[in-house]
Each structure stands twice: as structure tokens, then as C-alpha cells.
Amino acid sequence: MPTFRIELFEGRPLDQRRKLVEAVTRVTCETLGCEPGSVDIIIDEVKRENWATGGKLWSEQK
């Protein structure tokens, strides 16, 4: 059973998240030959103040 954990900044609309999980599921099934019901996807929404890149918090970037 393929399981994906996707981390995103919080606040993306439900429609975008729905499209994302549909696309990941579709490509996974096409690639691995599995059934959609066997694909698990966990979306973790992270506040910008809790995510840093290059030593800088995203909440403090322009």
C-alpha cells in the first residue's frame, strides 16, 4: 500500500488539495498498477512561522 506524506503551507483551498490527492493517486496507480483504494495520502499543513529554508523562517521572508 503506497503512502505519501505531503507537507504544505497552511491555507490552500480544499479544491487545490482535492486536485492534488486525485493527481497523486492517479499517477501512482498508473505507475505501480495498484487500485486507488490502496493509496494513502496524508497532508500536513504547516504554518509559515514553523518552516524555514536557508536559515530563514518563511514568515519573515518577503
Active-site positions?
2
Q: Which three cell numbers stand for residue 35?
A: 487500485
Q: Which three cell numbers stand for residue 30?
A: 498508473
Mapped to the 3 state alphabet, what secondary structure does 13-49 carry? Answer: CHHHHHHHHHHHHHHHHHHHCCCHHHCEEEEEEECHH
